[in-house]
Structure 1
Amino acid sequence: MDYITLAKEIVSLYPFGSPDIEFIRHNENITFKITDPLNRNCYILRIHMPVTDGFAGIQNTFEGLQSEMIVLKELYSNNVIHVQEPVKNCMGDYVTVYNSTEFDVPCLATLLTWMEGATLSVEEDDMEAAAFALGEELAALHEFTRSYKPVEKLSRPVYDGNRIDFAMDELQCGVERALYSMEQYETIKEVLQLVKRQLIELDSRKNSWGLIHADLQFGNVIIHNGRLGLIDFSLSGYSYYLFDLGSASSMLPTEWRKTFLNGYSSKSSFIMDDLRYIEGLIFMDIFISYCFFIRDDNRNGWIKTNAAELCDTLCKDFIQGKSVYYSL
């Protein structure tokens, strides 16, 4: 079954006539833009079949998707930040279960409202304002989740010391696949062991841990008429709030990182002494992302280049206690 046919069959379970369906991409989900012909309202359909086994996890289970929809609905209803609204199917459910003889297991799908705008890029006319606003938006998200008490327990990924242990074990296969040398792997492991010690320090702090976005990159930040919005909460889960600051910082050009942190600190607590922790969490984020692709030889080529750049310079600097925040 081709993607468009699959999307048509799943969309038939929603209250549309004969919508226009446009394939977007296949990554952690298969995504489509859906346009209602009657009112021209647009939506994004996500069929939760990851392109590679590395993306499999609790986030793609029924319980995980149900939890993601609960969080998005809360963020949308309370106008915490600009996010997409989950849409119910004809049965009144946010998570659609579609059975097909084409697949061994049921397909799970979710539908969200479309967010108008363009993805954030370094070509932005006023990048300084955008970086500051991104910090404010992220702070608003964190301040909300610090006090958010879901009615039921959420099933979402956890990014903690155990996730680092998993990554260290999983990344050994990168040596076997000649993506990096044993010496480079040992460097990666030394960095992650250092980060684990940092996490123990963060555990002693009040309000350092909670629900985060966990996948902040240019493609997941939408800007429209000067307003920023966050999309793609597929990998959202529980971790240290500084993890989000790390992933957001690493996507921004060096000259706008301080502005971003200023935006964050204008709405939430942050001290510059925490840059050392952010550095560690950036490394954690990078090496966890290796795990998504490392066993997929059609998609793991970039790891070889990235590991060579990191292991021979910034990893060693970090281990030696040098500041690398503005270089990562």
Structure 2
Amino acid sequence: MSDVAPAPFRAGDPDAIARAAMALYPPAERGVPRLVCLSENATYRIDLPGGRRRVLRVHRPGYHDATEIRSELAWLDSLRAAGIQVPRAVCAMDGERLHHVSTPGTSGRHVVMFEWIDGTEPTPDIDPGSFARLGRITARLHQHSRAWRRPQGFRRKVWTHATMVGPAAAWGQWQAAQGLDPRARDTITHAMAQAGSELAAYGDGAARFGLIHADLRLANLLIAGERTHIIDFDDCGFSWFMQDLAAALSFFEDHPRMPHWVAHWLRGYETMTPVERADLSILPALIAQRRVQLLAWATSHAHTAQVQALGPQWATGCVTVCRDYLDGRLARRIGA
């Protein structure tokens, strides 16, 4: 993992790459790329004849190398073989799924095309039971992760306290966030020191730490009838299994209904996998740590529409989460 956060991904950079990538695929798989999301990667919708669609992912430079991306695709293959609904990568004319594309005036980018998945994103304010569904799905992923024999050379990022909120954090430095006064910075610093100590004591044994999705929020589910697809494995890597619950609360850790969501998630999860007392007790540390990781991410992605939509009070909410964690209120709210 690089000690330097990737440079900002300017919106104009990947467009030419996406257009050039079309030549890699059979004529029936080519269309005009239309940008639908710009975050870590640029994601394009490709409209094809007959109403078909594809998704083209243009990877951000300096974030994942080819081995990491191929490892992600290998896990997707295994999950799909196990009956879990996940995206399927599309082969280009050379039979490969991952390519590096360069065009004049742009640096090269890794690109992968996926089959389009129809469905709607569940909304917690309308359907609180969505978190129970999410918990059950997460338990299935964890069961598969624990049993899966990974292929030789498999490599994904390792999400630890250091790589999430430390000096070499992959998403940048939370200390660079605007609008934090010295008292706020001190609160976050103390909260992260305490979280680091608790996580070190909790440990990273195989029962608690393994390959996870790492960003399994409701936004990364698509529901169509009785079928639920999990999407966006771009951040999958090795971390605490309970980190997937902290990630499920992303951006809404201070929401009044958060304890309700946690209860539903755990209820769904425990229909398939038991949760030990220690797993519950570590949740406040993981939730606070995730919020600070997102603070770093928002700081390094201030140019994106998603961050701009958070509003100026979101950083203040990060301080509230850390304060609630330090004084035990966060633990009391979720029954940990």
With the shorter chain as reference, the TM-score category is 0.7 to 0.9
Per-residue CA distance 1:140-183 (angstroms, 9 max, x = gap) = 00011112121123232211132132368923333xxx420122
Is contact 1:43–1:111 with CA below 8 Å preserved after alignment? yes
Per-residue CA distance 1:82-125 (angstroms, 9 max, x = gap) = 1111122112212111121221x32210011111101111354x
| Partners of 2:301 and 2:87 in 1: CA distance | 31
SS in 2 for 1:121: coil
Seen in structure 2, the aligned counterparts of structure 1 residues 131 and 293 have a Cα distance that, compared at 3 Å, is closer
Is contact 2:119–2:223 with CA below 8 Å preserved after alignment? yes
- 1:309 is the counterpart of 2:317: yes
| Partners of 2:41 and 2:332 in 1: CA distance | 33
Residue 282 of structure 2 aligns with which residue?
277
Seen in structure 2, the aligned counterparts of structure 1 residues 262 and 66 have a Cα distance that, compared at 3 Å, is same
Residue 5 of structure 2 aligns with which residue?
none
| Partners of 1:193 and 1:303 in 2: CA distance | 27
**Deviation of 1:41 (Å):** 3.3
SS in 2 for 1:87: coil
Q: Which amino acid aligns with 1:305?
A: Q
| Partners of 2:121 and 2:70 in 1: CA distance | 26
| Partners of 1:84 and 1:297 in 2: CA distance | 29
Root-mean-square deviation (CA, aligned residues, Å) is 2.7
- 1:82 is the counterpart of 2:85: yes
| Partners of 1:166 and 1:149 in 2: CA distance | 33
Per-residue CA distance 1:225-258 (angstroms, 9 max, x = gap) = 0332211011111100000011214559433431
Q: Which amino acid aligns with 2:212?
A: I
**Deviation of 1:4 (Å):** 5.3
Q: Which amino acid aligns with 2:219?
A: G
What TM-score, normalized to structure 1? 0.84
Residue 245 of structure 1 aligns with which residue?
245
- 1:65 is the counterpart of 2:69: yes
The answer to which of 213-222 and 231-240 deviates more is 213-222
Gaps of 5+ in 1: 51-55
Which among 248, 263, 275 is matched to residue 268 of structure 2? 263
- 1:196 is the counterpart of 2:196: yes
| Partners of 1:15 and 1:259 in 2: CA distance | 45
**Deviation of 1:61 (Å):** 1.8
The 5-angstrom pairing of residues 219-230 of structure 1 reads 219-230=219-230
| Partners of 2:141 and 2:217 in 1: CA distance | 16
The answer to which of 14-23 and 184-193 deviates more is 14-23
The answer to which of 244-253 and 187-196 deviates more is 244-253
| Partners of 1:316 and 1:160 in 2: CA distance | 22
Q: Percent identity?
A: 23
Residue 3 of structure 2 aligns with which residue?
none
| Partners of 1:204 and 1:34 in 2: CA distance | 41
- 1:10 is the counterpart of 2:21: yes
Is contact 2:72–2:234 with CA below 8 Å preserved after alignment? yes
Q: Which amino acid aligns with 2:327?
A: Q
What TM-score, normalized to structure 2? 0.83
**Deviation of 1:20 (Å):** 4.8
Residue 236 of structure 1 aligns with which residue?
236
Residue 325 of structure 2 aligns with which residue?
318
**Deviation of 1:267 (Å):** 0.7
| Partners of 1:170 and 1:261 in 2: CA distance | 31
SS in 1 for 2:124: coil
| Partners of 2:239 and 2:181 in 1: CA distance | 30
| Partners of 1:88 and 1:35 in 2: CA distance | 17
**Deviation of 1:216 (Å):** 2.3
| Partners of 1:204 and 1:5 in 2: CA distance | 43
Is contact 2:291–2:318 with CA below 8 Å preserved after alignment? no
Q: Which amino acid aligns with 1:293?
A: A
| Partners of 1:223 and 1:127 in 2: CA distance | 14
| Partners of 2:90 and 2:82 in 1: CA distance | 16
**Deviation of 1:218 (Å):** 2.8
Seen in structure 2, the aligned counterparts of structure 1 residues 151 and 205 have a Cα distance that, compared at 3 Å, is closer
Residue 214 of structure 2 aligns with which residue?
214
SS in 1 for 2:96: coil
Per-residue CA distance 1:244-275 (angstroms, 9 max, x = gap) = 01121455943343122111011112135533
Is contact 2:17–2:101 with CA below 8 Å preserved after alignment? no
Seen in structure 2, the aligned counterparts of structure 1 residues 304 and 113 have a Cα distance that, compared at 3 Å, is same
